[in-house]
Amino acid sequence: MTSQFRAVLGIALTPVLALAAAAPAAAHTTAAVAATGTTATATGTASAAVETGAPGPWGTRTTHAPNPDPVSASGGVSTLESAGNGALVSLTGDGPSRSTRIRPAGSTRWLAPQTWPGAGGYNTELVSLGDGSVRLVWRAERADDHNNYWLKVATLTPGATAFSEPEYVAAVPEKGYHHLAAAPDGRLVAVWSVSGVVKAAEKAGPRAAWTAPADLNAQPPSGSRNISAMDLAVAKDGTALLVWQWQASKAVVALEKAPGASAWTAVQGFPVPGVDLARPKVFADPQGGFDVFYDDTAHLMHTRRPVGATQWSPPRSAANYGSTYGMTAPVYLPDGDLFVAGGPGYSTGPWYAVRSAATGAWQPYTQPFSTHKKVRAVDAAATSGGTVTVTWREGYSSEEYTMAAVFKGGTWSAPRRLSATSAQFTGVPLVAADELGRPVVLWDEYKRTETNSFVLDGVYQATTTSRALPKWRDYTDDGKADLFGRNSTGLKVYAGDATKLSAGQRASGWPTGTLVLPFGDLDGDRCDDVFVRYPNGEARVYPTICGGLPDQQSFHVKVSSDWSGYDAVVSPGDMTGDGRADLLTRSASTGKLYLYANNGAGGFKARSLAGSGFGGYKRLIAAGDLDGDGKNDLLAIDASNELWRFRGTGAGTFTPRSLVFKDWGTSYKDVVGGLDLSGDGRADLISLDKDGRAWLNRGNGHGGFDNRSQVGKATNWSDIRIS
C-alpha cells in the first residue's frame, strides 16, 4: 500500500555505516549515529521516539474483527494504511457497504468501526496521502438515479479519531477508474474516467471547494474507449503526474500539472512505450521527483525523473519476470535505494529488486524471501531500523498461510508463519508500520464447511514485540546461541540443544578459504552480525537482519584491505565490559594478540595489545564466560595438545593461563566455544572429529568442562567446518 509515512520512516531512522579500509596495524571508522528522539507529525506535534532497532519477535495472532456473517465467505480486510502520524486504518467488508477502523497513534486498541453505505461498490480506495491524511474514495450510487454515481471522499486528518462526513467531488455517470493524490501542503487532485474521457478536479485546502471537473482529453482514439490502466501521483513540490493506457491501441498517455498552472500538459520525453499490458504505475519520491514502473516483455521496467530535472532516465530492467501486476509500492531505503517486491507476475515465484541510488543500477540478489513455489499477494512496508517488512500468502488451495520476513541490506530473516494452523487458507496479508515503526499485519482466515465450501472465520492481526539485546551467536532469532556450518552447499546455521543440531533452510555461498565467524551486534540494531575474511585478506563485517544470513553482495563494513598478516581471527564477544562485541587477532610474525574494540558507531577502534607469546598455540578458541565472573575468556591448544584457559579481565587483556585438559583435541578438526547448547546458562564446547561426529563438552561454570557426549548424531559432519 502506498504511504508517505513508510518511505520517510525508512529514510530517517537507519544507522549508516562507513568504515575506512585499514591495514592490520590499525582500523579506523567514520562514526555514524542512528536517528533517535521524537518524530514530527503532520500537525507539528511530537510523537514517541521511533525504534531504531530491527523489528522484534512476532507476537501471537489476535482478532482484528470477527466475521459479521458466519455463513459468508466475504467481508474480510482489503486495505491497511499508515497515516502520517503513525495511526493505522483498515478497510473491511463487502457487498453494499464497507467499514473503516482506526488504531490511533500511541494506542494498541482499534476503535469502533465506521460504516460507509454505498462504499461497497466499484473501485473503493483507502489511500494514505502526502499531507499526512488518509482518505476513503468511492463511487456511490445516486439515490435519485440508480444508473449514475457520486464520486465521494471522506477524510481522516492527522490526529483525528474519525473520518469526516463525505464530500461530493462530482457526479459520475458510470463506473470506471478513479484516483486521488495529495501534495504535502494539502492540495488534493482527483481523476476519473467517463466513456474514455479522463476528468480531473482539485481542492486547494480543507476549506476550499472542489473545482469543476475538467476534461483532460477529447474523444478517445477510434475503437479505444476503454482504459486498461490509470495511475496518479503528486510530488513533493506539488507537481501532479497522471498516466494511463488505452486498452485497444496500447498507447500510453502522460500528463502533468505544476502547482498554480491552469491546465494539464503532455509530459515531454515520457519513455514508457505503448506495448501490450504496459500497466504503468507512478510514485512520488518523498525527496522529490517521480518513479515510474511498467511491464515490457516479461520485464519490470523502471524510469525516473529526479527533482528539478526535465529528462527521464533511460528505462532499465528492474526485475526479470517481475511485473507491476501485484507489485508492492516502492519503499525508499535509508541511503536512497529503492526496494520493490511482488508475487509471481510473469514468473513462477516471488521476486524482489533493489535500485542503488549511487549507481542507478538494479542489483541482482540471490536470496528470495520465500522458496515456496506458490507465493501470492505480496505487500511491503518500511519498518524500524531501516528494514522492510514483507508479507505474503503461500501454499496450495486449502492449505495456505500468511507469512512475513524482514529485509535489510541484502539480507532476509527467516520466514515466519503468522496464521493459525487450523485455517484452510488465508486472504491477502497486509502490512503497515505504526508510529514506532513496528510492523502490523492484517489478514483473513477461512475454514472449510461441512458442504465443502469456505467461510470467513475472521480478520486477524499480528505485530512485533520490543527487541531485547541480542543473545551472542543467535542467528535464528530464538534467543539461543547457534553454530555456523560450511560445506560445498554454502554456509548454514545449526540450531538445537544438547541432543541434536539441525540445519536451517537458508544458506549463503562464500569463496573457498573464506573465514566466516559469528560476531555480535556491530551497528546497534540488536541483530547479530557476521565477520568475514576473504582469501585475499580483505576483512569485512556484514550487518544482518535478525534471523538472517548475509550473501557476498549484502551490505557490509570494510574493516581492512589486508588482514592476511593475522593467522588467527577470533570473535570473543565483549572483551572490554561495554556490552559490545569485539575482535581478537594474532600476528603471524610476532605471535602478539591484538584487540579491535567495537567503537559503538558501526566500526572499530584502533587496535590495542591484548597479550604476547601466543604464537606457539595451534588454535585459539573464543570461550565465553567460563567461570561466571561476567568476563569472556579465551581457550588455546598448544603443540602438545593441551587445552589452556586465559581468564578475561574485562579490559581487553587476559590473566596467565591455567590448564583445562591434557592430551586433548588430537582427533578434532574444529572446536567452537562460547555457546550454551545445553541450556544451563554455562558456556560449552562443540568439537568435530575427523570421523564426522560432533561432541559436546558442557561447561561446569568453574572454568572447566565435563566429559564429552555425542551431539547432532543425525548429521554427517565429515565435509562440514564449523565456526
pLDDT for 79-98, tens place per residue?
999 999 999 999 988 767 78
d(CA 506, CA 298): 28
How many angstroms separate the CA atoms of 654 and 75, rounded?
A: 66
Residue-wise pLDDT for 389-401, tens only, equals 999 998 876 788 8
Which residue would you say has higher pLDDT here, 141 or 417? Answer: 417
Instruction: State in Å, rounded, how far the first CA of the chain is from the last one.
Output: 41
Q: Is the predicted pLDDT of residue 171 greater than 50, yes or no?
A: yes
Collapsed DSSP state (helix, strand, coil) of residue 183: coil
- The helix/strand/coil state of 452 is coil
Name the pLDDT band for 221 (thresholds 50, 70, 90). low
Q: Please choose, from the candidates 11, 6, 148, 23, the residue with its C-alpha nearest in 3D space to the C-alpha of residue 80.
A: 6
The pTM (predicted TM-score) of the whole model is 0.86
More confident residue, 511 or 49: 511
Secondary structure in 3-state letters for 503-534: ECCCCECCCCCCEEEEEECCCCCCCCEEEEEC
pLDDT score for 36: 31
pLDDT at 609 over 90: yes
Distance, in Å, from the CA atom of 182 to the CA atom of 214, rounded to the nearest integer, reads 18
Band (325; pLDDT cuts 50, 70, 90): confident
Q: How many whole angstroms from its chain centre is CA 524?
A: 17
- Alpha-carbon torsion (127, 128, 131, 132), positive or negative: positive
- Enumerate the domain spans of the chain: 483-722
pLDDT of residue 17: 27
Tell me the pairing of strands 399-408 and 416-417.
antiparallel
CATH class of 483-722: mainly beta
Q: What is the DSSP letter of 30?
A: B
The sign of the dihedral angle between the CA atoms of 42, 47, 49, 55 is negative
Distance CA 585, CA 685 (A): 21
**Dihedral (C-alpha) 640, 641, 642, 646: value to the nearest 10 degrees?**
110
Average pLDDT, the chain: 83
What is the per-residue DSSP string for 114-160? EEEETTTSTT-EEEE-TTS-EEEEEEEEETTEEEEEEEEEEEE-TT-
> How many angstroms separate the CA atoms of 594 and 431, rounded?
46
Q: How far apart are CA 120 and CA 266, in angstroms?
A: 34
